């Protein structure tokens, strides 16, 4: 199974950006929040060379082969040179991991691992190009996508 090799600096910057957005904007759209979002995006992109979106979109280079369930994207980012992507969303599906799993399987991904418990659920899928880790606490769904080892 391939391992995640996104540089620590990029991962830390992505996590810091997500935290800052939640703290400073209260998860709602407002002019101050928009300014904070843009400042955080610019700072993280400058520090990491990656692409960060706090406006509800996916990174420009997010792989088309990886389907994303319906919902509101609250954070997304990509490491430099397409090394990996992180997407956090509020899904519309009642069981977001099951919905995302079904979409990944329909797109040709195979299940590698799955786990569920009181705190949430997780699953790992892969194809010849990508490895996708799904994690959900019931309210949010996180996609961590990396390139498969060649």
Nearest to 14, CA basis, from 37, 39, 48, 38? 48
- pLDDT of 110 reads 95
**Domain limits of the chain?**
8-147
Under-70 pLDDT residues of the chain: 1-55
What pLDDT is recorded for position 119?
A: 72
Q: What is the pLDDT of residue 10?
A: 52
pTM, whole model, 2 decimals? 0.67
The confidence score (pLDDT) of residue 2 equals 46
Residues 44, 35 contacting (CB under 8 angstroms): no
Nearest to 52, CA basis, from 66, 72, 37: 37
103-145 pLDDT, tens digit per residue, is 999 999 999 987 777 778 899 999 999 999 999 988 999 999 9
- pLDDT score at 78: 86
Cβ atoms of 112 and 63 closer than 8 Å: no
End-to-end CA distance of the chain: 11
Q: What is the pLDDT of residue 53?
A: 56
The angle subtended at Cα 82 by Cα 76 and Cα 88, nearest 5°, is: 15
Q: 123 is written with which tokens?
A: 């699953």
The residue whose two tokens read 């790992």 is: 124
């Amino acid at each position: 199974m391939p391992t995640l090799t996104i540089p620590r600096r990029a991962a830390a910057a992505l996590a810091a950006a997500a935290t800052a957005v939640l703290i400073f904007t209260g998860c709602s759209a407002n002019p101050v929040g928009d300014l904070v979002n843009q400042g955080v995006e610019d700072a993280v992109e400058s520090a990491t060379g990656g692409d960060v979106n706090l406006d509800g979109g996916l990174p420009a280079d997010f792989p088309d082969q990886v389907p994303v369930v319906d919902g509101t994207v609250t954070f997304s980012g990509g490491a430099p040179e397409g090394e990996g992507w992180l997407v956090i969303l509020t899904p519309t599906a009642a069981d977001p991991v099951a919905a995302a799993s079904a979409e990944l399987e329909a797109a040709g991904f195979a299940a590698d691992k799955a786990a569920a418990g009181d705190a949430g659920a997780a699953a790992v899928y892969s194809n010849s190009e990508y490895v996708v880790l799904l994690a959900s606490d019931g309210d949010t769904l996180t996609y961590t996508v990396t390139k498969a080892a060649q």
